[in-house]
Amino acid sequence: MTTNLKKVFITGTDTDVGKTVVSCAVLDYANKLGFKTVGLKPISAGCELTSEGLRNEDALLLQQHASHLLAYEIVNPIAYQAPIAPHIAAHKSGEFIDLALVDAAITQVPDDIDFAVIEGAGGWHLPISMNKNSMNKNNSDNSHLFSSWVAEKQLDVILVVGVKLGCLNHAILSAQAIIHSGANLVGWIANSPTIDIANYTEMIETLTMALSAPLMGEIPYFASIEEKNENSANYLDLTSYLSL
């Protein structure tokens, strides 16, 4: 894997706020600029058992929207069938989440790839362990959180905000947590999960003032997820970021 590979981590204010939609849109945007891209979903749950093994719908979409086709095992090295928090799924399976598998997958990204979009799972502070010692509130070690891996790798982070009642608190807290973790919050993207969101303009204005990172796009509501995946890149502005 080339050391010049640009990597961005896509996190969200919660689960089901549009991380996959945004991840695919970012890939589409970069593809149009001529970047050679890959999409990664290191940890997933809620996978379907197929003849080829466990397959996650979000990971398959990332695979489809990338300009370079990676083996599924590289795109999604840690997968669980149960649609629950990954660390709980791992615990129920008698396993533990080993982030060395994620590191190994990333090293298999070809040297000629320019840009990798890495989609998180859930929100920013995703637990990856049920170890009582590591989860102890008096323990300052955050290695039980996926966010500590992101910060350790010094990845750029884009925060996806699902615009709805309650998102202001979630977005401000998430942005503060990302910065406090030591990761590089480069921007945020607003995603509309429903139509006719009350006080939409006021909420966007509030977050624009409250968040230190720039607004990189506002993705509107679409009647179908297929239409949303196909068109969302048109509502982003990543030219400045990708030119750095």
User: Is residue 41 annotated as a catalytic residue, yes or no?
Assistant: yes
- Do the domain assignments include residue 237? yes
- Do the domain assignments include residue 67? yes
Q: What is the predicted pLDDT for the residue at 129?
A: 86
How far apart are the C-alpha atoms of 32 and 35, rounded to whole Å?
Answer: 7
Q: What is the predicted pLDDT for the residue at 244?
A: 75
Mean residue pLDDT of the chain comes to 93
- Do the domain assignments include residue 71? yes
Q: What is the predicted pLDDT for the residue at 141?
A: 53
Contact 54, 93 (CB under 8 A): no
Neighbours of 149 (CB within 10 A): 20
Q: Could you tell me the residue range of the domain that residue 130 belongs to?
A: 6-242
Please report the sign of the dihedral spanned by the C-alpha atoms of residue 217, residue 222, residue 224, residue 230. Answer: negative
Q: What is the predicted pLDDT for the residue at 217?
A: 98
pLDDT in tens, 11-25: 999 999 999 999 999
DSSP designation for 124: S
Give mean pLDDT, residues 70-83: 97
Give mean pLDDT, residues 31-47: 97
Contact 177, 29 (CB under 8 A): no
Kind of pairing between the strands at 43-44 and 78-79? parallel
Query: With 90 as the cut, is the pLDDT of residue 216 above it?
Result: yes
pLDDT in tens, 139-162: 455 678 999 999 999 999 999 999
Q: What is the predicted pLDDT for the residue at 173?
A: 98
**Of the candidates 89, 220, 201, 105, the residue with the CA atom closest to the CA atom of residue 153:** 105
Q: What percent of the chain has pLDDT over 70?
A: 93
**Of the candidates 28, 21, 62, 39, the residue with the CA atom closest to the CA atom of residue 190:** 21
Q: How many domains does the chain have?
A: 1
How far apart are the C-alpha atoms of 150 and 159, rounded to whole Å?
Answer: 13
- Do the domain assignments include residue 161? yes
- Do the domain assignments include residue 56? yes
How far apart are the C-alpha atoms of 55 and 142, rounded to whole Å?
Answer: 29
Neighbours of 29 (CB within 10 A): 25
Q: What is the predicted pLDDT for the residue at 3?
A: 57
Give mean pLDDT, residues 47-64: 96
Instruction: pLDDT band for 56, please (50, 70, 90 cuts).
Output: very high
Model pTM score: 0.93
- Do the domain assignments include residue 114? yes
- Do the domain assignments include residue 1? no
Q: Per the residue annotation, which of 7, 41, 164, 228 is the catalytic one? A: 41
CA geometry: angle at 37 spanning 126 and 177, to 5°? Answer: 25
- Do the domain assignments include residue 53? yes
CATH at residue 185: 3.40.50.300
